Chains A and B, each alone.
Chain A
Amino acid sequence: MAYLELAKVSKGFGPPSQRTAVLADVELAVDENEFVAILGFSGSGKSTLVGILAGLIDPDEGDVMLANKVVVDPGPERGVMFQNYSLLPWLTVEGNIALAVRKVMPGLSRVERAEYVQRYVDMVNLTGSEAKCPDELSGGMRQRASLARTLAMRPNVLLLDEPLSALDALTRANLQDEIVRIWEEDKRTVVMITNDVDEAALMADRIIVLTPGPRATLGPSFDVDLPRPRDRAGLNRDRRFQALRKRITGYMLNFTKTQAGDEARSRRRMPAIEPRVFEAA
């Protein structure tokens, strides 16, 4: 029985006369403690999907179900880690986390709360930067703080909205490992949005492709049957990984081709260059 479900969810924007359907008939079922990556093109409605899962956006049709109950409003049991961090700039790292902790665990005493916050600060390796404000932190540190705040809410479902897309490659790799490590220590249901096939394959149990919009919907799901812990360096040589990546990229390139063809027919001539898949040796 799936833990988190989307049932026939549709969402559009704009006035009724010329409404653009962003998502149409989205069906999703995520098991408890499963790590699902949703892979999508830019502009395909990934953030809208997270918004709907979090309850921040009301779907036009369909329902969000959590443990077989329909949920409507946002809540701390579905913790979102936003793409642009969404830290409150007037609070320190500690203050940002404490704000969430105070709300989720109102019973804690001041000392208990400070200890609790410290534990999450340590968990994301921000020790020493507790008293800094977000604008004094680098992008990676801000994202860690955001992660700590989300984790500190002890959500049943963790929703990660392209959490690493704004970071440089090194920081990104670092945080990928970190998130996986934390998830393995303290399992919970995760839905991660990304546009990076490697990232998805490295981190997730299952990858679902979001077809390009408008009227985007979830395509086939690819199981990632690579054993954990996964080794970043070794992965590129792993046959199964290569095959998986080829399948997913092939599926996605198919869309690109169709789209390019559509565009060529409708508007402009595209240069006669065909993208190819280069396989790693």
Chain B
Amino acid sequence: MKYKILKAIDVSGLTFLAPIVRLATGEEPDVQIRAIMQMIVVPIVAFAVFVGLWSQLAPRHKTKSGEVPTPAVVWDAAQGIWTFHAREGDKETAYVLAGEQRESALMAAKDRLAEIDPLTELADRQVADAEQEKSAQVAELTAPLRTKLAVVSERYGADQAARKARWMERADRTAVSDTDARLALLGAWNEHDLRTREEREELKNLRAEIDTVGAQAFPALSAAQKAQTAIAEERQFLRKRIEVLTAYNRNEKARAGEQQLADLRSKYLQADGGAAMAGLAANIARTRTRVESIRESNYARPYTLPMQILRSLLCVFVGFLLGSLIAIPIGILCGLSPTFMAAMMPFIALFKPVSPIVWLPIALIVVGGFIPDPDDHWLINGFAGLPLVGWMKINPAFLASAITVALCSMWATMVNTALGVASIDDDHTNVARMLRLSARERLFRIVLPSALPLIFAGLRISLSVGWMVLIAAELLSSSEGIGKYVWDMFNNGASDSFAKMFVVVFVVGSIGLALDRIMIVFQRLVSFDGAPTAI
């Protein structure tokens, strides 16, 4: 049992769990505790130090989009993203609800709305109180400064007027012929001017100091505002939900349409004359089509981050698959034939360093050429018909992003496959020769199995490269996905956009980590002892 668990841990590469299992079974506690300290405690402490430094340093840097968000703000933003996603899901189901389910959902929404109405007032009052408290506190804090400002500014005003008056007086007394005196006066004016500017600067600094005190963070106020926003958002959501459950509901709209249809039919039956009947007949046909399309319709749900993550994952897998389907056969041919390798070398060397930013526009144009009408193309329709991924609305931008992923990520697989096939052990070749295996048997029974660990090492690199490339490609191609989400956040300038970008950093990182782990497991499963895997 213990060894089975340890074996599984080893295969999955989660080696940090091994000492815990060993400790639980009482094996050399000293050694295990040291291992746990090193493999678990140290990383956790390091991460805690990082979070601490982050929360200390972030607020000190002011940007156009506000302060750099602290970990707490980022956490709130993550929750906000999830709430938005859940509420959109609610609306989507509300749109198609019918009968009793709709009734009870409606009741629940109305109840909740009634519940939070007093809370809204409370929150508003709290915000007002906090604001008042803040202004009082600010007034108190700035009182000495403001007094000083008033005094100083008055004094400087008087000083300036007096200086100017003195100068005028001297000027009046200066004769035209007295050039020296006039030049001296010019110097005196400059001096006066300089003084005036210095005084103005001093006053400006004082005012800035007062402003700084006023702009200080006021935790009570921000907390009250946060509560107010949360309630306002829920209220808005509930109102929308009620709307989607009543007038906007699919079945309600269809019923209204049916009603209209019945009216029209009875009118038609009573109508006089061909012209009137024709008009009504056309109207009936139109209304019927409309009702039918309402019955088929779904809530026009905006993309939320969780959906975009799924779409990005699909995109990276499509690209990865495409890249592997190209890279592995070419890699095998390169490994088998030095001549073919020599023929491929210039292409590999030339195209490998090309950035995804260059591939993407080219891919967009080429894909656009193949798919002139995205609404009616067999490939797009084919994707739309698939289960699980049909809702993702595969479009040319998605395909171009996937192709970019393929073009950037396939090289690692290709080179590793070639290396794996070329470096097959002579002993194994001798076995194949002795058994007189055919070319096919040699490929599938000897060459590929022995190259498999290296092929998988290449695939692992390809997938992580592809995941990095994909975010950039989506950002540039506006293909719905994580990259587009970042771009939208960069452009929309909402107060929490900056924090949401930080959320994306952690999401992208965690998914990249998970993908790499999965590939490690595959790599370990196909590896035999002594296989070259350390790449």
Chain A residues packing against B (C-beta within 8 Å): 54-56, 73-76, 78-80, 82, 84, 86, 88-91, 99-100, 103-104, 133-135, 153
Contacts and interface: CB of A to CB of B under 8 A. Distances in A.
Interface in B476-535: 528-531
A88 B437 contact: no
B531 A99 contact: no
Contacts of B529: 89, 133-135
A55 B436 CA distance: 11
Contacts of B275: none
Q: Which of A75, A76, A88, A153 has the most CB of B within 10 A?
A: A88
Contacts of B450: 88-90
Interface stretch (B54-62, B414-422, B423-431): B423-431
Given A86-B428, A90-B452, A133-B528, A80 B446 contact: no
B427 A82 contact: yes
A80 B429 CA distance: 13
Contacts of A75: 434, 436
Contacts of B445: 99
Closest 4 pairs between A and B when the two form their complex, measured CB to CB? A135-B529, A86-B427, A89-B528, A90-B449
B377 interface: no
Nearest to B433: A74
Contacts of A88: 428, 431, 446, 449-450
B435 interface: yes
Given A89-B528, A133-B528, A135-B528, A79 B434 contact: yes
B430 A56 contact: yes
Interface in B446-488: 446, 449-450, 452
User: Mostly helix, strand, loop or mixed at chain B's interface?
Assistant: helix
A258 to B, nearest CB: 34
Q: Which of A55, A74, A82 has the most CB of B within 10 A?
A: A74
A75 B435 CA distance: 6
A56 B428 contact: no
A74 B427 contact: no
A76 B437 CA distance: 10
A10 B339 CA distance: 31
A98 to B, nearest CB: 11
B434 A80 contact: yes
Contacts of A134: 529
Nearest to B527: A90
Q: Which of A76, A88, A90 has the most CB of B within 10 A?
A: A90
Size range of the chain B interface in the assembly:
10 to 19
B437 A103 contact: yes
Nearest to A79: B434
27 contacts: A54-B434, A74-B433, A74-B436, A76-B436, A78-B434, A80-B430, A80-B434, A82-B427, A86-B427, A86-B430, A86-B431, A88-B428, A88-B446, A88-B449, A88-B450, A89-B450, A89-B528, A89-B529, A90-B450, A90-B452, A99-B445, A100-B435, A103-B441, A133-B528, A135-B528, A135-B530, A153-B435
Contact of A103 (B427, B436, B452, B528): B436
Nearest to A80: B434
A73 B434 CA distance: 8
A74 B437 CA distance: 11
Nearest to A83: B427
A99 B431 CA distance: 10
A56 B428 CA distance: 12
B439 to A, nearest CB: 14
B427 A84 contact: yes
Contacts of A73: 433, 436
A158 B237 CA distance: 84
Given A80-B430, A82-B430, A89-B531, 14 more contacts: A54-B434, A73-B436, A74-B430, A86-B427, A88-B428, A88-B449, A89-B528, A89-B529, A89-B530, A90-B450, A90-B452, A91-B449, A135-B528, A153-B435
Contacts of B433: 55-56, 73-74
Nearest to A101: B435
A54 B433 CA distance: 10
A281 B340 CA distance: 67
Nearest to B528: A89
B397 to A, nearest CB: 42
Q: Which of A79, A103, A135 has the most CB of B within 10 A?
A: A103
Contacts of A135: 528-530
Contacts of A86: 427-428, 430-431
Contacts of A82: 427, 430-431
Contacts of B428: 86, 88
Contacts of B449: 88, 90-91
A264 B441 CA distance: 54
A100 B430 CA distance: 13
